[in-house]
Amino acid sequence: MSMEHSRSIGAWRGVSFAVAQIDVLKAEDDLLVVGMLERDVAGGPRGGADAVDDALHGTLSRLREGGIFSGGFGETMMLTRPPSPIRAATLMLIGMGASLSGNPEAVGNLTGLAMRAALRIGAASVGCLLGWSEFEVPDSLIAPSAAAMMRGALAAIDAQVGQMAAMQWTFDIRNGAAVRTTAALRNALAAWPRAMGAR
C-alpha cells in the first residue's frame, strides 16, 4: 500500500486500524473504498472519487450520467480487477447522497457497509476514503463524524459470525484536520469495549 505517514491506532477482533493519507492510484489494497456524492459540487473539494474518475477517463461521471451508479445514499458498486492505473484488487464505490456534512451517524452507517463488504470478500487490507475528501465537514462535526465512522466499522465487525481472518484497515485523513480525526478515531476504538459492556 502506498501511503504517507501511516500510523497504527489500535485493533479489535483481528482488525488492525491505522490512519494515513491514501493515494488512490498507488494503493495496492485488496479493497479500496471510495465515497461518491450524488452530484458534483461546483467549486467543492476534489477527493478520492475525482482521482479515480480522472484515472479512468471519466468512467464514474458516465456511470452517474447514465443512471447506472448515481451516488445515492447507500448505493454500492464493486469493480474487481479495475483497470490500470488503479492498483487495488477491488474498488468499491459507495454513494454518499447529496451531502453528509451535517449527519455524522450517516457516515458511520456507510463505514459499516464498507466493513461488511470487506469481511464478506475476506479482504486482508482495506483503504477507506469515505467522506473526508469528498465534502466539507463543519469544524464542530469533525470529531463526531470520525467517531461515528469507527463505531460503524466496529459494529460491523461484532456482527460477523464465526472466525475472522486478520485485516489491516486504514482510514484516510486528508481532511485538513488529521490530528483531531486521528484522536477521535482512536478514542472511539478505545471506548468501544466499555460501550459494548454498557448495552
Question: What tens digit of pLDDT does each residue of 22-64 get?
Answer: 999 999 999 999 988 887 544 444 568 888 888 889 988 898 8
Write the single-letter amino acid at 144.
P
Q: How far apart are CA 99 and CA 113, in angstroms?
A: 17
Q: Residue ranges per domain, the chain?
A: 3-197
Q: Name the burial class of residue 153, with classes exposed (0-12), middle (13-18) and buried (19+) by CB atoms within 10 angstroms of its CB.
A: buried
State how beta strands 167-172 and 125-129 pair: parallel
* pLDDT at 135 exceeding the cut of 70: no
Q: Give the DSSP H/E element, type plus range, for residue 187.
A: helix 178-197
- Cβ neighbours around 30 below 10 Å, total: 18
Tell me which residue of 1, 9, 21, 16 sits closest to 177, measured CA to CA: 21
pLDDT tens sequence across 67-121: 888 888 999 999 999 999 999 999 999 998 877 667 889 999 999 999 999 999 9
CATH of domain 3-197: 3.40.220.10
* pLDDT at 197 exceeding the cut of 60: no
pLDDT tens sequence across 140-188: 888 999 999 999 999 999 999 888 889 999 999 887 788 999 999 999 9
pLDDT for the residue numbered 134? 53
Band (pLDDT 50/70/90 cuts) for residue 191 is very high
Residue 170 pairs with which residues in a beta bridge?
18, 127
Q: Give the DSSP H/E element, type plus range, for residue 45.
A: none
pLDDT for the residue numbered 67? 87
Q: How far apart are CA 182 and CA 100, in angstroms?
A: 19
- Locate cell 484522536: which residue? 183
Tell me which residue of 113, 108, 81, 80 sits closest to 94, measured CA to CA: 113
